[in-house]
Amino acid sequence: MTTGAQPQAHDPQHVAIGFAVAAEPSSPERPPPITPSSASDTAAPFRDLAAHFAELRAQVDALDKTPGPGFFAEVTPLLLESQQLTRRLVAALSHLSTSDYSTVPGSRSTLDSLAATVGSAALVSTHLAQAIAVNPLDGLSLLGAPADEVAIRQVRETDARDAVEECLAEALHDLDLTATCSYAASGIARNVGLAQARHAAAQAERQATGRT
């Protein structure tokens, strides 16, 4: 007994973006399709992350780079925030890569860019941790300390400041690269919109020729 032809998974007219044929019951693990109403939600996490990374960049740039316990107290919460943002980025990318967005034309470039951004975000945490590592935590020298001890401390603080500034400059560079999240969000919305438009046009053509 013959049956109607079933659409193939690679057929661009049947890419699941909210207008496609529903997933077969035999594939319960298939992600829900990207619908017009959820397309903006798909991009939203990356816009939010871009805003938070930009805020973190401003905070890192405003740090007092004077070595010592004060710097440690200021940079520690920024390190923890960078780690949290990296975890959020990984989770958002994981969700995106297992959604139907991964079948949309143009998605590969976006996914590759976001994967590279994970590396940049992780390096921010590395550089902030290195800044903590090179930062001396001992307190100020006591009054009346030997001259040689004061001189040694001054040299150590100068070296530490140079090292801290280098670490923070590298962190700022990688934070600049996390702006990719914003570009990716725009790319997601654009790719989904184009795919939906192509599908709508194909559907209209089928209806015009009497096909369902």
**pLDDT tens digits, one per residue of 117-174:** 999 999 999 999 999 999 998 755 555 556 676 677 777 888 899 999 999 999 999 9
Print the SS3 string covering 45-87. HHHHHHHHHHHHHHHHHCCCCCCCHHHHHHHHHHHHHHHHHHH
Structure tokens at 208: 């015009």
184-202 pLDDT, tens digit per residue, is 998 888 888 776 667 667 6
81-108 pLDDT, tens digit per residue, is 999 999 999 999 999 998 888 888 888 9
Fold of 40-208: Four Helix Bundle (Hemerythrin (Met), subunit A) (1.20.120)
* pTM more than 0.75: no
- Does the pLDDT value for residue 6 go beyond 60? no
Cβ atoms of 160 and 153 within 8 Å: the answer is no
Where exactly are the structural domains of the chain? 40-208
